[in-house]
Structure 1
Amino acid sequence: MTRPPDPSSASRRTRVFFALWPAPAIARRLHREGERAHATTGGRRMRRDTLHLTLAFIGDMPRERLEDLLACADKVDFAPFALVVDRIAAWRHNHIVWAGASVQPPELESLVSQLNAALADAGFPVERRKFSAHVTLLRNARGELPASDIDPPIEWSVRTFALIESDLAQDGAHYTVLKFWPAAGTTGH
């Protein structure tokens, strides 16, 4: 599923973002949480193969800038960490049901901070709002969903982050991992 950027496509545009990409077992657990929430709220469930935690959304950009993005990510030095996904809730303003961590590990905050600094230095847009680690499970949710615990919590061992390309289609977005970056002292995904 990982593929290198295509240098012959320099004149085209691409839509990309950096993310934590879950291992299959974690994606299955997140998908089951979305299924449970869907019974209460309705909406459109995210496909299991698209579940992720966005670190930095770049959006639409010229494909020839992919090398610049790769260079930004190469500057990030992060330690592996455990992310405990233990909460499920909804944002009413945008009808999103999400799963997240009640405590964000300092390693995650450092990863996001380093990535945003490198992106800003290279002239890429950077989110100014406080980072809120979450995985979108449902879109267009209609019912109420009070915040609750995920029991047992999902223990996500984070050892990589990735650059993802997003292709929008009628049935939703389709993602391709362009590259993984391993945490310090690890061998990767």
Structure 2
Amino acid sequence: MKPDPAATGKTSRVFFALWPGARVARRLHELGAEAHAECAGRRTRCETLHLTLAFIGDVSPQRLADLIAVGNCVEATPFTLRLDCLGGWRHNRIVWAGAQICPAPLAGLVERLNGALEAAGFAVERRPFAPHVTLLRKAHTQVSARCVEPIDWRVGGFALVESLQTSAGAHYRTLREWRAGEGEGDRCAGKSG
């Protein structure tokens, strides 16, 4: 078992994400197999499939507590994310499953999360949010972008996750999860109520 980074003083590579249940992960993994047959590359393991909301990077143990406080302040509402397209980015050889339409609750969650991160002194992504799940890395050829049979993912919360790099690839450890309705919302901004 790996030591807790907070106990060792080492930095942790972390991000906020949505994590699919077994049914959605299985279907995404199947879609990854289809994409792999088309363009090869390194498939994302079923147990590591996720949708990144905000990538933070390396942080000290002290800043992990700040990130948990950020998560505590962000309110999430349940929603359904429909992943209905397959695409890729040539510049980094990624193949992904994405959504043609970003649900308003997901866009709001990302906006609130980025606002809370920025208020806490963390750098945030400035590019428009594009909901996607990475299926392949190091694709040998560009995937044919297309619509696919929709995968409806019922989202009921989000997580702060640590990325642990090994020779076998990335492994993830959930540091904290927040379910819909758990956020403290306005109380975190110093408002009463």
Do the two structures share a fold, i.e. TM-score over 0.5? yes
State the identity %.
Answer: 53
Over aligned residues, Cα RMSD in angstroms?
Answer: 1.5
Q: 1-side partners of 2:6 and 2:145: how far apart?
A: 47
State the distance in 1 between where 2:50 and 2:27 align.
12
DSSP 3-state at the match of 1:93: helix
Match of 1:168? 165
1:45 alignment partner in structure 2: 43
Which structure shows the bigger proportion of residues in helix conformation? Answer: 2
1:117 correspondence with 2:115: yes
Q: What residue number does 1:158 align with?
A: 155
Deviations 1:78-104 (A, max 9, x none): 211000000011111110000011000
Distance 2:41 2:169 in 1: 13
Post-superposition offset of 1:168: 0.6
Q: CA deviation at 1:184?
A: 2.1
The reply to whether residue 149 of structure 1 matches residue 147 of structure 2 is: yes
Runs of 4 or more off by more than 6 Å in structure 1?
none
- Contact 1:90/1:97 (CA < 8 Å) preserved in 2? yes
The reply on whether 1:77 has 2:75 as its aligned counterpart is: yes
Contact 2:15/2:52, CA 8 A, preserved across alignment: yes
**Among 173, 176, 180, which residue is 2:177 paired with?**
180
Partner of 1:54: 52
- Distance in 1 of aligned mates of 2:8 and 2:74: 25
Deviations 1:128-173 (A, max 9, x none): 111111000000001231211121x100000010000100111110
**Once the two structures are superposed, what CA deviation does each residue of 1:2-34 show, in whole Å capped at 9, x if it has no partner?**
xxx958526211110000000011100000000
Aligned letter for 2:15? F
The TM-score normalised by the length of structure 1 is 0.91
* Cα distance, 1:149–1:7 mapped onto 2, change above 3 Å: closer
**2:155 corresponds to which letter in structure 1?**
V
For residues 99-120 of structure 1, give each alpha carbon's deviation from its aligned partner in whole angstroms, at most 9, with x where no partner exists. 0110000000000000000000
Specify the SS of the correspondent of 1:177.
strand
> Aligned partners of 1:92, 1:135: CA distance in 2, in Å?
16
Q: Which amino acid aligns with 2:62?
A: E
SS of aligned partner of 1:184 = coil
Q: Give the aligned residue type for 2:122.
A: F
Query: 2:141 is matched by which residue type in structure 1?
Result: G
State whether residues 10 and 64 of structure 1, in contact with CA within 8 Å, keep that contact through their aligned partners in structure 2: no
Stretches of structure 2 that go unaligned for 5 or more consecutive residues are 183-193
Which residue among 8, 11, 14 is the counterpart of 2:9? Answer: 11
Number of corresponding residues:
180
Tell me the residue number matched to 1:97. Answer: 95
SS of residue in 2 equivalent to 1:16: strand
Q: Deviations over 1:57-97 (max 9, x none)?
A: 00111122111000001111121100000001111111000
Alpha-carbon separation, structure 2, partners of 1:6 and 1:91: 35
